[in-house]
Structure 1
Amino acid sequence: MRVIRFLLLLCLCCCLPVFAGTPKNVGFYYGHEAPIGTLFAYDWLVLQADQVSDARIDLLNRGGTRPLAYVAVDEIHRSHPLASRVESAWEIGRNTAWNSVVLDIRLPAVRSFLLEQRVAPAMARGFSGVFLDTLDSHLLTTTGQQKAADFATAQAELIKDIRDRYPDALIIINRGFHLPEQAHERVDALAFESWFEGYEPAANKYRPVPTEHREWLQLQLAHWRATHPDKPLIAIDYTAAAEPAVGVANRLREAGFIPVVSNSNLDRLGPTQPEVVRRQVLVLHDLPREQADQSQAHSRLGIFLEYLGLIPVYRSALEPALQEPVSDRYQGVVVWWEAGVSGNRLCQWLGREVKGRVPLVLMGLVPGSPACQRLVSDQRLRIPQAPVEVQTNQASVGTFEGSRMPNRVPLAMPSLSSALNPWVTLVDSKGAGYSPVFTGPQGGVALGPFLFEPGPDNTAYWLFDPVSFLVEALQPGLHPGVDTTTESGRRVMTAHIDGDGFVSRARRPGAPQAAEVVLEDILKEYRLPHTVSVIEAEISPGGLFPAESKEAMATARKIFRQPLVEVASHTFSHPFFWRIMEGEAAPDEEDTDYGFSMDVPGYLPELEREIPGSVDFIQALAPEQKDLKVFLWSGDARPGRQALKMTRELGLFNVNGGNTQPLSYSSMLAAVWPDGRLVEDEFQVHAPVLNENVYTNLWTGPFYGYRNVRESFDLLNKPYRLKPSGIYYHFYSGVYPESVKALHEVYQHVLSEPNTPLYLSEYAARVQSRYYSTLTLSADRVYRWRGVHHPGTVTVPEGYFPDLERSQGVAGFIRDGSKTYIHLAGSSAALVLAKDPPEGPFLESANGPLTAWSRQRQEGGPWRIELSTAGHVPLELQFAPGFACRVASGHQAKQADRRWFRFSASQVSGLVMECR
């Protein structure tokens, strides 16, 4: 939307009520830099069609936010992509304030242009409706002023055409009091600008709205108010700074309006009620954009941001600086320089737009430019004079993983400051003090070489606790964070199989195919949810092994008929380099371990064949009632945007990639990748832990090497639970007796501890619930999540508990390490926190997801709990100590003690428990 001239402002009577069924929050966002997870708080969201991706439109719809396309009715900007299609005969004037052409909407050709070239394409892309702006621009022309009634009739005709073609579309008009009643009847809401605070485009000034303008606007709205009291009125005000926006929005809401308060560009996110809790963190790295996942900011730091309930949004520092606001959408900004090349412009932007507004964390090799060094310290950075004495000021420094501190410092360091909290102190030969790692009120700094103790082969060990450092530097607060490692109080376990080696012959009597061994020895032995894939070109009759195909196809069908097997594709030809198919240069063939894909005669990998083509083939192998749900990346597992888009449009979860393989003799927590990565609005879910290929030295042996993943699982659980127990291997693990034995050892290790088994698709949904959702906090301190998926578990720092009396869909909690894991039930949980443990019984843990939960105290009697679950193994429930519980109705259970129950069913509905 554009701002109308200041004297033509409008509004409504301040006593208009907000009616039931009206959207509570409406947003206008005309930018493109905001992460999608920041937008789900709005019920309706007006967007510029050319600024928004198809993925964003799709995901907003899935998450319950209805996107509406901006459409200017009476004019078109000269820079608009469709401006060249405007015929000179359609033009009746200019709007010089906006460099726009005023159109003669009385002409059928103009209305057809608007309907067919503006509205129809937007609706075809998935927009839920349109916002019709500039309905009074014709008044800027003599013709429009003289023939105002004809223009109103023509605008009403356009609205009728839109409503007739799209009966379910939302239609919002800006102003439009002059329109005839039949037009008002066909729209869903009316918007207006500048009730309290306005903007004058000609003067480029923000200013309060004079009282007489509000009085004039109120008169203009008298008809609407009298005849359409059930339709929303949206008040749009403008403030130069973000700080007053909440107060202005509250005043507008008190006046009975749905408020929108933004800047003149409408690229600042307006406040909502309940308010949005900022969880995104902008993470800047100095690698090219397409290498973001290879940066240390991503591969070493991202997991700790996720652990803290934050959402890393990666951006290359080599790109132009962001143009939109930062403090409306980010909790903080982290910069990790690896090359340390000059970043003067970036650092000027950081100093101007970030420092002092949100926490700023600087890591790695800070460029030597003056602007960058000023970000680190108010004093000039200097190189300490050798020899240097290293002193540690925090308990974790030198004791977390690495212990060997650098004994020479060839880089410039900031001087000690009493205003900062030093983690490491250096005293040089001249007695000068420096601190390469510190936190302070505005963020923190951690400079190389004090991040890691280096090991052989590019391994690394953290020299301090990165979680504690980030807590002090980013100040994330006590808000709950989405967790992907735990479900119903127990650590999540997943198991998935890539299709490689399906037809390999096992080293055992009869030489069965490896897939048959995995089916008989593993899938039938461990009655757990598995996600299983095949490679089409490996098993199909027209593939590489036609002599093996009949047996392989029969085995694939048997596997997919197993009740706890989820169907997945592992491509057609197993590409090793996905981005080649999207135009990236191919590596030299001698630099590849296996070529570019399986060598299918006459075939070069292309996305359509690898993704939808293989999905169609593999779906045909599955039972009719079982849909293929997951696409597993092959090779380098680094898909580009187009490949990710294909899986989203097919309705599939996509998983694999990442490089998580912590081991005590290799990198430990420095080898833990985040759960996934955003590629614009598309998203890739990383495998929780790497597969047996890397534990067996690329399947060269020892073939029992996958047993070492048990250590990885343990490192990923303590001191911080960073990942589920993700069992992940290929069918070729069925070839050797020692590789099969290793699988048994891994399964038994995982099953020796309490767990909640999930399909890989269920795990991927929980990962997406972090990146594709918004956390809100109401005035009465109730947390809720809105987005594409709802989390199953959230965490809060130790010392906080769920208030079970005020919360809804919250079943209980369990404490582990420094966190409290809170169990959510269903898709509309509401959480209230307390400093004291809850009274009454609650669920301590279960081995399946909760779909419903309610608890109430019966007067003079026991507590009554009703719950439902959607697990995959015989259900276990464990209630908190201090209460004696029993099954009141619904199911029979084995009862080990007064709070532990085991059921024969994996899923229960309407189970009633009584606890005293």
Structure 2
Amino acid sequence: MSPVRRLLPVLLLILFPVAQMLPARAAEAVVQRSVLALVDLREEKTIRLSRIHTMAELPLNHLGLSVVYWDVAQGLPDPDRYRDLRGVITWFAGDPFADAQDYVRWIEQAMDRGLKVAVLGQTGVRRSLDGTLTPLAVVNRFFGRFGLRDDDGYSDLTYKSRPAVSDGLIGYERPLAGMPPGYPLLRKTDGRFTSHLVMRRGGDAATDSHLVVTGPAGGLVVEGYARHHDAEMNRRQWLIDPFAFFRAAFATDDLPKPDVTTLSGRRIYFSHIDGDGWRNQTEVAPFSKTKLLSADVVRMAAIEAFPDLPVSVAPIVGDLDPVWKGTPEALASAKRLFALPQVEPSSHTWTHPFQWAFFKDYDPAKEAAFLDRADDYGGPRSPLDRLMGRSKRDTTAEDAGEVADIGRYAIPRAYLRTPFDLDQEIGGALDYFTRLAPVGKRATLVQWPGDTSPFEAAVAAVRKAGARNMNGGDARYDADYPSIITLPPIGLPVGAERQIYSGNSNENTYTDLWTNRFFGFQNLINTVRNSDSPIRLKPFNIYYHMYSGQKAASLNALRRNLQAAREAEIAPVAASAYAAIAEGFYTTRFRAEGERRWRILDRGALNTLRFDHASFTAVDFARSSGVLGQRRFQGSLYVSLDPVVAEPVVALEETERADRDPPATVPYLIEGRWALAGLAADGPGGAFRVAAQGYGDGTLTWQVPVSGRWLVTAERNGTRVWQGEAEAGADGRLPVTVAAPAVEPLLLRLRPAGR
């Protein structure tokens, strides 16, 4: 059997993955990378809207930390239930504990067992839930753990207060300017802690209060000094540098970071389309003359015109199936799209629920009240009506507001022909789109519709159907949203399940919910740039709806984004592949095996690790296995893992130079557009082979131990489909461009000429 045939199932699993649970391992000493977030859901209502999830979890994820949540309304958790717990984080708005002294004892026990604690906002220790004050001696047991002492004072008149100490951790997105918030008087008592912000009143050093500290036990930021909130603009910005604060508080420098933004040394790119507006008649000339569907315009102008950029297309069954509100024309347009090699079939469900909470405890009788509003949902309406789920009779915002039970939507889902059926919405829709696709293609991704807030059983249904899920998050980082706070974390826990967020927001947030400024989506590129510099925080994701093919302005904006992607250095993958990588972030574990050497366990489809502050660091290939390559970027070292190696080992060493790729005695990948697997020697003289899959020409850069001319061939099923040459410079860099399609995997062979 040829190497390609042997590797094909592996590549398909990596790049077009189906859900699977890896077997549990026996208890073992692993590197701690989980942080326990204590939240009070009596006050914050949901994890999705909590301060820790919306503000702190993104930087924690970037530092390699996975966040687990506990609602303190249920009491205090047993830390032993978490096998790799590194620390605890809190961000309270008040005092949520029935017995604050019991909480102080819990924190002390957690720290005594080596857990680090990061406290932002209110501490939760000054009084109990019933208002009973905590004795000051007990309060100071808590503050003493952070090298501080509470002098039982408070500065509420701060017009004379100025920073006596304010280091680089302060003023990250907004300077500490104007009248500072009131603050408690906290003296430092332990020199092992670093004070990042010290406020002084009237120039008197005796009044110094230490408001932001980090040290061996964790870190603390008093209320009002972590982030600024502009109530008028509804805008939040960090006052502290959350990356630096959490890095110090949780001591993450020794932690390998599972990275979901990068593949083969390049930024991951993926694109996905929700099917809303599929049957809208386009207004774009010259397509409007023949009354083309928006879906067909998107296909011709934004998909067929960019064959090097993959896209996952998710229709709504009700929009296509003639038994519902579909037409033969709409059905045919889906088949044409799914037949394109760069298109992955996905699902936007069967009936397009608008508010998922309505269906958590479904009552058909409750939904029956909306039937008179939905009799002509499939007919021609304005885009706003379509977005809001209004029928032609419901033409005003006041009409929509009458239905308070489902928020801003006028009906609970787009199509009410039959009672809601979760199995039909998830597994049924996936099967429907798989049948529409060519043989060999499967729909394995559910793109959440409506408010993108599925309940636990809905996410579980996706997993049980052997698929992945994605959507939600609405990532923006631009002039209108000038903070990383509006970049969401990787995903959201939904009960025992996990929702994966999309990489970027769709065009709705740029067009006022598709009501005006239809050109607005062109501003996506600002978020793309800002989330890649000065540190890479998100993949490059173009996410939109089929109604972008309805108007000339929206279509032009979309094409500008696609052109920007074409010009960027990216590693394009299907959207389901990104969802699989994101899931791997949460399952990945590390086992330390000697100095600066780790074995990687249970990583799923995630194949990139990042080591920060690593300009003079390189992979020690002699002590490593299962490593494809390495690349330095932004002061970090990105390490590419070989997908065919279940438990790779990564060891690091120091190098003398940061201005060139580290030399090695074996070939390794620096960066490339394609996903690679199965790197192996292929004869004498340094020759090697590797399987590849991807979109567009295969631009790859290798570091090889032999300079001079190299011969490169590409094979599929034992037949050579391309051959060429490349030149390795004296520094060992070997740039290669394979001009052959690799949507179906190839086997690449590279060998020095004459050997």
Say if 2:33 is the partner of 1:279: yes
Change (3 A) 1:789 1:890: same
Secondary structure of 1:379 counterpart? strand
Counterpart-to-counterpart distance in 1, 2:190 and 2:106: 27
Change (3 A) 1:502 1:825: same
Counterpart-to-counterpart distance in 2, 1:890 and 1:815: 28
Counterpart-to-counterpart distance in 1, 2:724 and 2:427: 45
Q: Name the amino acid aligned to 2:403.
A: E
1:389 to 162, 170, 188: 162
The Cα of 1:307 is off from its aligned counterpart by 0.9
1:835 to 648, 651, 654: 654
**Matched residue, 2:175:** 403
Partner deviation per Cα, 1:217-266 (whole Å, 9 max, x = no partner): xxxxxxxxxxxxxxxxxxxxxxxxxxxxxxxxxxxxxxxxxxx8xxxxxx
Secondary structure of 1:766 counterpart? helix
**Matched residue, 1:426:** 199
1:457-476 equivalences in 2 (<5 Å): 457-476=233-252
2:116 to 346, 359, 371: 359
1:423-572 equivalences in 2 (<5 Å): 423-429=196-202, 431-455=206-230, 456-508=232-284, 509-527=289-307, 528-544=309-325, 546=326, 549-572=327-350
Residue ranges of structure 2 left out of the alignment (5+ in a row): 1-17, 128-133, 367-400, 656-661, 715-722
**Matched residue, 1:904:** 739
Secondary structure of 1:623 counterpart? coil
The Cα of 1:610 is off from its aligned counterpart by 1.8
Secondary structure of 2:142 counterpart? helix
Seq. identity, %: 24
Say if 2:691 is the partner of 1:868: yes
Q: Name the amino acid aligned to 1:839.
A: A
CA contact (8 A) 2:474 2:504 kept: yes
The Cα of 1:435 is off from its aligned counterpart by 1.8
Partner deviation per Cα, 1:389-408 (whole Å, 9 max, x = no partner): 1244322422x211244623
Counterpart-to-counterpart distance in 2, 1:405 and 1:441: 30
User: Considering only CA atoms, is the larger Rg found in Structure 1 or Structure 2?
Assistant: 1
Counterpart-to-counterpart distance in 2, 1:328 and 1:614: 37
Change (3 A) 1:881 1:562: same
**Matched residue, 1:321:** 76
Q: Name the amino acid aligned to 1:438.
A: V
**Matched residue, 1:914:** 752
The Cα of 1:692 is off from its aligned counterpart by 0.6
- Structure 1 runs of 4+ aligned residues shifted over 6 Å read 584-588
Counterpart-to-counterpart distance in 2, 1:488 and 1:717: 16
1:805-884 equivalences in 2 (<5 Å): 805-828=622-645, 829-836=648-655, 837-840=662-665, 841-854=667-680, 862-880=685-703, 884=707
CA contact (8 A) 1:494 1:726 kept: yes
Partner deviation per Cα, 1:867-887 (whole Å, 9 max, x = no partner): 222223221111249963544
Q: Name the amino acid aligned to 1:815.
A: R
**Matched residue, 1:64:** 23
Counterpart-to-counterpart distance in 2, 1:788 and 1:830: 12
**Matched residue, 1:149:** none
Counterpart-to-counterpart distance in 2, 1:885 and 1:337: 62
Secondary structure of 1:301 counterpart? helix
Q: Name the amino acid aligned to 1:481.
A: K
Say if 2:193 is the partner of 1:379: no
Q: Name the amino acid aligned to 2:173.
A: E
Change (3 A) 1:432 1:480: same
Change (3 A) 1:732 1:609: same
1:617 to 411, 432, 437: 432
CA contact (8 A) 2:709 2:725 kept: no
CA contact (8 A) 1:768 1:789 kept: yes
Secondary structure of 1:471 counterpart? helix
CA contact (8 A) 2:282 2:550 kept: yes
**Matched residue, 1:741:** 556
2:724 to 877, 881, 893: 893
The Cα of 1:580 is off from its aligned counterpart by 2.3
The Cα of 1:453 is off from its aligned counterpart by 2.8
The Cα of 1:602 is off from its aligned counterpart by 4.4
The Cα of 1:324 is off from its aligned counterpart by 4.5
| Count, aligned residues | 646
Counterpart-to-counterpart distance in 1, 2:154 and 2:359: 47
Say if 2:71 is the partner of 1:293: no
Q: TM-score, normalised by structure 2?
A: 0.80
Change (3 A) 1:396 1:352: closer
Counterpart-to-counterpart distance in 2, 1:355 and 1:697: 51
CA contact (8 A) 2:169 2:240 kept: yes
Secondary structure of 1:719 counterpart? coil
The Cα of 1:466 is off from its aligned counterpart by 1.0
Q: Name the amino acid aligned to 1:835.
A: E
Change (3 A) 1:593 1:320: same
Q: Name the amino acid aligned to 1:589.
A: V
Counterpart-to-counterpart distance in 1, 2:211 and 2:494: 33
2:403 to 589, 610, 631: 589
The Cα of 1:413 is off from its aligned counterpart by 4.8
1:746-765 equivalences in 2 (<5 Å): 746-765=561-580
Secondary structure of 1:687 counterpart? coil
The Cα of 1:778 is off from its aligned counterpart by 2.3
Change (3 A) 1:536 1:810: same
Secondary structure of 1:594 counterpart? coil
CA contact (8 A) 2:347 2:430 kept: yes
The Cα of 1:427 is off from its aligned counterpart by 0.7
1:162-311 equivalences in 2 (<5 Å): 270=27, 272=28, 275-288=29-42, 291-311=46-66
Secondary structure of 2:149 counterpart? coil
Residue ranges of structure 1 left out of the alignment (5+ in a row): 1-57, 67-259, 261-269
Q: Name the amino acid aligned to 1:884.
A: S
Q: Name the amino acid aligned to 2:142.
A: L
Change (3 A) 1:537 1:816: same
CA contact (8 A) 2:490 2:500 kept: yes
* Larger RCO, structure (CA 8 Å, separation 6 or more): 2
1:91-170 equivalences in 2 (<5 Å): none
Q: Name the amino acid aligned to 1:421.
A: T
The Cα of 1:769 is off from its aligned counterpart by 1.1
2:584 to 766, 769, 772: 769
Q: Name the amino acid aligned to 1:349.
A: W
CA contact (8 A) 2:500 2:582 kept: yes
